[in-house]
Amino acid sequence: MAVAESIILAVGRRKAAVARVRMRRGTGRITVNRQDVTEYFPSETVRRYLTQPLMITGSTDAYDVSATLRGGGPMGQAGALRHGIARALEKANGELRAVLKESGMLTRDARVKERKKPGQPGARKRFQFSKR
Protein backbone atom coordinates (compact mmCIF):
# COMPACT_ATOMS: atom_id res chain seq x y z
CA MET A 1 0.00 0.00 0.00
CA ALA A 2 1.40 3.40 -1.03
CA VAL A 3 1.87 6.17 1.50
CA ALA A 4 -0.42 9.14 0.74
CA GLU A 5 1.41 12.26 -0.39
CA SER A 6 1.00 15.12 2.05
CA ILE A 7 -1.31 17.68 0.50
CA ILE A 8 -1.86 21.02 2.22
CA LEU A 9 -5.34 22.50 1.80
CA ALA A 10 -6.16 26.18 2.29
CA VAL A 11 -8.82 28.69 1.31
CA GLY A 12 -8.09 32.25 0.22
CA ARG A 13 -10.63 35.03 -0.26
CA ARG A 14 -10.74 38.54 -1.68
CA LYS A 15 -13.83 40.57 -2.55
CA ALA A 16 -16.29 38.05 -4.02
CA ALA A 17 -13.59 35.59 -5.15
CA VAL A 18 -12.79 32.33 -3.37
CA ALA A 19 -9.70 30.19 -4.05
CA ARG A 20 -9.45 26.59 -2.84
CA VAL A 21 -5.73 25.80 -2.85
CA ARG A 22 -4.05 22.37 -2.79
CA MET A 23 -0.29 22.45 -2.36
CA ARG A 24 2.25 19.62 -2.35
CA ARG A 25 6.03 19.23 -2.68
CA GLY A 26 7.04 19.54 -6.30
CA THR A 27 8.76 21.61 -8.94
CA GLY A 28 6.84 24.91 -8.86
CA ARG A 29 3.96 24.21 -11.27
CA ILE A 30 0.82 26.28 -10.71
CA THR A 31 -2.51 25.18 -12.20
CA VAL A 32 -5.71 27.17 -11.90
CA ASN A 33 -9.07 25.55 -12.76
CA ARG A 34 -7.16 22.75 -14.55
CA GLN A 35 -5.32 25.26 -16.75
CA ASP A 36 -1.74 26.42 -16.56
CA VAL A 37 -1.39 29.72 -14.72
CA THR A 38 -0.04 31.41 -17.87
CA GLU A 39 -3.26 30.54 -19.74
CA TYR A 40 -5.61 31.54 -16.94
CA PHE A 41 -3.75 34.76 -16.06
CA PRO A 42 -2.08 36.00 -19.28
CA SER A 43 -0.78 39.18 -17.59
CA GLU A 44 2.76 38.88 -16.21
CA THR A 45 1.98 41.54 -13.58
CA VAL A 46 -0.94 39.53 -12.17
CA ARG A 47 1.15 36.33 -12.13
CA ARG A 48 3.95 38.10 -10.26
CA TYR A 49 1.37 39.42 -7.76
CA LEU A 50 -0.12 36.00 -7.00
CA THR A 51 3.28 34.30 -6.64
CA GLN A 52 4.57 36.87 -4.11
CA PRO A 53 4.16 34.52 -1.10
CA LEU A 54 6.30 31.88 -2.83
CA MET A 55 8.96 34.44 -3.82
CA ILE A 56 9.19 36.07 -0.38
CA THR A 57 9.57 32.73 1.39
CA GLY A 58 12.03 31.42 -1.22
CA SER A 59 9.92 28.39 -2.08
CA THR A 60 9.13 29.15 -5.74
CA ASP A 61 10.40 25.76 -6.94
CA ALA A 62 9.54 23.79 -3.80
CA TYR A 63 5.77 23.33 -4.20
CA ASP A 64 3.21 22.49 -6.87
CA VAL A 65 0.03 24.53 -6.46
CA SER A 66 -3.37 23.49 -7.76
CA ALA A 67 -6.27 25.89 -7.22
CA THR A 68 -9.97 26.17 -7.96
CA LEU A 69 -11.18 29.76 -8.34
CA ARG A 70 -14.79 30.95 -8.21
CA GLY A 71 -16.49 34.34 -8.26
CA GLY A 72 -15.16 37.83 -8.66
CA GLY A 73 -13.03 39.29 -11.43
CA PRO A 74 -9.46 38.64 -12.50
CA MET A 75 -7.77 40.80 -9.83
CA GLY A 76 -10.09 39.54 -7.09
CA GLN A 77 -9.30 35.96 -8.09
CA ALA A 78 -5.57 36.70 -8.17
CA GLY A 79 -5.79 38.22 -4.68
CA ALA A 80 -7.75 35.23 -3.40
CA LEU A 81 -5.16 32.84 -4.86
CA ARG A 82 -2.33 34.86 -3.28
CA HIS A 83 -4.11 34.70 0.10
CA GLY A 84 -4.69 30.94 -0.28
CA ILE A 85 -1.06 30.25 -1.20
CA ALA A 86 0.14 32.29 1.79
CA ARG A 87 -2.15 30.36 4.16
CA ALA A 88 -1.02 27.03 2.69
CA LEU A 89 2.66 28.00 3.12
CA GLU A 90 1.96 28.88 6.75
CA LYS A 91 0.37 25.46 7.29
CA ALA A 92 3.34 23.75 5.63
CA ASN A 93 5.94 25.59 7.72
CA GLY A 94 4.92 27.60 10.78
CA GLU A 95 8.23 29.48 10.81
CA LEU A 96 7.18 31.34 7.65
CA ARG A 97 4.24 32.99 9.47
CA ALA A 98 6.28 36.01 10.64
CA VAL A 99 7.54 36.78 7.12
CA LEU A 100 4.10 36.37 5.53
CA LYS A 101 2.31 38.36 8.23
CA GLU A 102 4.83 41.21 8.08
CA SER A 103 4.30 41.54 4.32
CA GLY A 104 0.49 41.53 4.79
CA MET A 105 -0.24 38.36 2.85
CA LEU A 106 -2.17 36.58 5.58
CA THR A 107 -4.67 39.44 5.89
CA ARG A 108 -7.93 38.92 4.03
CA ASP A 109 -8.93 41.94 1.94
CA ALA A 110 -12.57 42.21 3.02
CA ARG A 111 -13.59 45.14 0.81
CA VAL A 112 -16.79 43.98 -0.88
CA LYS A 113 -19.28 45.92 -2.97
CA GLU A 114 -21.84 47.58 -0.71
CA ARG A 115 -25.48 46.70 -1.29
CA LYS A 116 -27.97 49.11 -2.82
CA LYS A 117 -30.30 50.64 -0.23
CA PRO A 118 -34.07 50.90 -0.82
CA GLY A 119 -35.37 54.31 -1.90
CA GLN A 120 -31.95 55.35 -3.22
CA PRO A 121 -30.36 55.13 -6.68
CA GLY A 122 -27.27 53.32 -5.33
CA ALA A 123 -25.44 52.25 -2.19
CA ARG A 124 -24.43 55.78 -1.12
CA LYS A 125 -25.92 58.12 -3.70
CA ARG A 126 -29.10 59.99 -2.75
CA PHE A 127 -31.73 61.61 -4.92
CA GLN A 128 -31.32 65.38 -5.25
CA PHE A 129 -32.78 67.29 -2.28
CA SER A 130 -35.50 69.79 -3.12
CA LYS A 131 -36.62 72.23 -0.45
CA ARG A 132 -39.79 73.23 -2.37
Say if residues 69 and 81 touch (Cβ distance below 8 Å).
Answer: yes
Q: What is the pLDDT of residues 19-74, one digit of tens each?
A: 999 999 999 899 999 999 999 999 999 999 999 999 999 988 999 999 999 999 99
Q: What is the pLDDT of residues 83-95, one digit of tens each?
A: 999 999 999 988 9
**5: pLDDT strictly greater than 70:** no
Q: What are the counts of helices (DSSP H) followed by strands (DSSP E) for the chain?
A: 5, 5
Which residues contact residue 101 at a Cβ distance below 8 angstroms, ignoring those fewer than 6 apart? 107
Task: Give per-residue burial for 8-17: e unless 16+ CB within 10 Å, then b.
Answer: bebebbbbeb
Task: Give the pTM.
Answer: 0.87
Say whether 111 sits in a helix, a strand or coil. coil
Domain ranges of the chain: 8-102
Say if residues 50 and 105 touch (Cβ distance below 8 Å).
Answer: no
Say whether 14 sits in a helix, a strand or coil. strand
Class of CATH domain 8-102: alpha beta
How far apart CA 57 and CA 90 sit, in angstroms, is 10
How far apart CA 40 and CA 42 sit, in angstroms, is 6
